Amino acid sequence: MTTGFHLIKRNPKKNGVGHKRRRGTTWFVNTSINRPAAGSKAEEGDTLYVYETGYAVWALGQITEVRNREFRDIESILNFATSFGDEASSFSESKFWGPEILDKIWPKLRNERDLCVHVLEVSAELDLLDVPIFPRLEYVHGRVSWRYLPQALISYPAELLVSPRIPSALRYSLYQAFNLHGQQHYLDIDHFVPKSVGGPGNIEENLAPVGLSINRRMSDDIPSAVFSVAHRCGYLAEANIEAQLAMADNPVMLSDQRSKDQARKLIAFVNQRCLAEIRSFYKEVRKAHLPNFEFGEAVSARVTGSA
């Protein structure tokens, strides 16, 4: 029997999936109006990859159940979403159903007749990946929430686009790794080169643990190593950045507006390099300020997919 392969895109802010990183049976839902919902051709036994928007595939599993339902009035869909009627949704995330009904379904049902709301619910037995899969960009671009794949996914880490947002799956993995292997307990994960000047959040090399000793008010300050590392790499001249900014004897945090403006221009240049150069740059910047901060290549590869 041929097994199908599917990729489902989830935005944790809307779908409530990713930040919880649940192992075991997990339910997913898609809706559509007047046509079958994306993913409705999925079958039990197919392989499902779970992709977090802007990051990577962090889980995969086997589809264990597929339910397709149709609703033709707002009362029925409300009862279903709130588990009030005879039929109840297996996906109980209110931050999904609220906007989905108010913004998408209700305006259509209120203004038009003979509409049918198709609801697909799929359960899968998930395993969390030790190393995330970075799929081809063609599979994850656009607004399509579900894609049928021609074959099993392989990772294309070079196609990752840097983004200021810290993916919840990456934050969770780093948080666990830091607290399991570190010498102290950390409260959160945050940017090292601040996102206010373009510092990326979806690569481990620009993230650092935040503990009780870290002053959050300094989060917009610029690590001076941004300029010294760029100088060693030859980026200052290419980006037309003032060379004197790289002259600091010791790594310090810069809070003046001139440094922030120049850093913003430099970071925009760096973020256009190939991914290997981007990772190397931010790793060197962090190392210059935090020379003892190192959890080893094994942890880095496990949470970022780097070689």
So what's the pLDDT on residue 179?
60
* pLDDT tier for residue 216 given thresholds of 50, 70 and 90: very low
- Give the number of other Cβ atoms within 10 Å of residue 70's Cβ: 11
The reply to whether 19 and 101 lie within a common domain is yes
> What pairs with residue 208 in β-bridges?
190
Average pLDDT over residues 121-143: 86
> Is 183 part of any domain?
yes
Give residue 187's pLDDT.
66
From 31, 228, 50, 17, select the one nearest 127 (Cα to Cα).
50
Domain end point (choices 156, 189, 212): 156
More confident residue, 229 or 54: 229
Residue 108 has pLDDT above 70, yes or no: yes
Q: How far apart are CA 65 and CA 48, in angstroms?
A: 12
- Is 162 a domain residue? no
Q: Residue 63 pLDDT > 50, yes or no?
A: yes
Looking at per-residue pLDDT, the higher value among 147 and 172 belongs to 147
The residue with greater pLDDT, 265 or 177, is 265
Question: Domain for residue 161, yes or no?
Answer: no
Note whether 281 and 173 are same-domain residues.
Answer: yes
Whether residue 14 is predicted with pLDDT greater than 70 in this model: the reply is no
Given this model, what pLDDT does residue 19 score? 43
pLDDT bracket for residue 7 (50, 70, 90): very high
Range of the domain at 286: 168-304
Asked if residue 284 and residue 219 are part of one domain, the reply reads yes
**Residue 40 located in a structural domain:** yes
Is the separation of the CB atoms in 90 and 262 below 8 Å? no
Asked if residue 261 lies in contact with residue 236, where contact means CB atoms within 8 angstroms, the answer is no
* pLDDT on residue 303: 46
Q: pLDDT per residue over 249-292, tens digit each? A: 789 999 999 999 999 999 999 999 988 899 999 999 999 998 87
**What integer is the mean pLDDT of 135-140?**
83
User: Is there a single domain that holds both residue 239 and residue 145?
Assistant: no
Distance of CA 84 to the CA centre of its chain: 33
- Is 262 in the same domain as 139? no
Q: In this structure, are 244 and 137 located in the same domain?
A: no
Q: What is the DSSP string of the chain?
A: -PPPEEEEEE-HHHH--SSS---EEEEEEEEEESSPPTTTT--TT-EEEEEETTS-EEEEEEEEEEEEEEE-SHHHHHHHHTT-SSS--S---HHHHHHIIIIIIHHHHHH-SS--EEEEEEEEEEEEEEEEE---HHHH-SS-SEEEESS-----GGGPPP-SS--HHHHHHHHHHHHHHSSS---EEEESS-GGGT--SSSGGGEEEE-TTS-GGGTTPEETHHHHHHHHHTHHHHHT--GGGG--SS--EE-SHHHHHHHHHHHHHHTTS-HHHHHHHHHHHHHHH-TT---HHHHHHHHH---
**What pLDDT, on the 0 to 100 scale, is given for residue 105?**
81
Measured distance CA(41)–CA(113) in Å, rounded: 27
The pLDDT score that the predictor gives to residue 37 is: 93
Tokens in use for 158?
């070079």
